[in-house]
């Protein structure tokens, strides 16, 4: 299962590569920094596959702003995605 947040075309491209290699794949759209989104994503995975064998926490963002110029909103977005997202996904799966 592949989760994406914004770029559905990129998700479709990855799914297409998996299918062309003989694999089975589904996509799901979720913001990993939001607990209800993560819970829905995990529920979808369990309903679709019956179990979760492993989790790859690879959602992450980067701003090209120097820390001294970064707004609090930018800081929160980076931490929520990169750290909170990893925490919520790990917690929901394990």
Q: Is this prediction's pTM over 0.95?
A: no
Distance between CA atoms of residues 42 and 47, nearest Å: 9
Distance between CA atoms of residues 21 and 43, nearest Å: 26
Query: pLDDT tens-digit profile of 20-78?
Result: 999 999 999 999 999 999 999 999 999 999 999 999 999 999 888 998 999 999 999 99
**Which tokens in the block code for residue 35?**
């607990």
Angle formed at CA 47 by CA 46 and CA 50, multiple of 5 degrees: 55
Band of residue 8 on the pLDDT scale cut at 50, 70, 90 = very high
60: CB partners within 8 A, 6+ apart: 81, 82
Looking at the chain, the number of H-run helices and the number of E-run strands are 4, 2
Band of residue 87 on the pLDDT scale cut at 50, 70, 90 = very high
């Amino acid at each position: 299962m592949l989760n994406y947040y914004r770029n559905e075309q990129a998700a479709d491209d990855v799914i297409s590569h998996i299918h062309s290699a003989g694999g089975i794949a589904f996509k799901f759209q979720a913001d990993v920094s939001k607990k209800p989104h993560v819970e829905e994503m995990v529920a979808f995975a369990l309903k679709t596959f019956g179990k979760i064998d492993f989790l790859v926490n690879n959602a992450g963002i980067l701003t090209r702003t120097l820390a001294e110029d970064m707004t609090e909103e930018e800081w929160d977005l980076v931490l929520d995605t990169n750290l909170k997202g990893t925490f919520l996904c790990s917690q929901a799966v394990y």
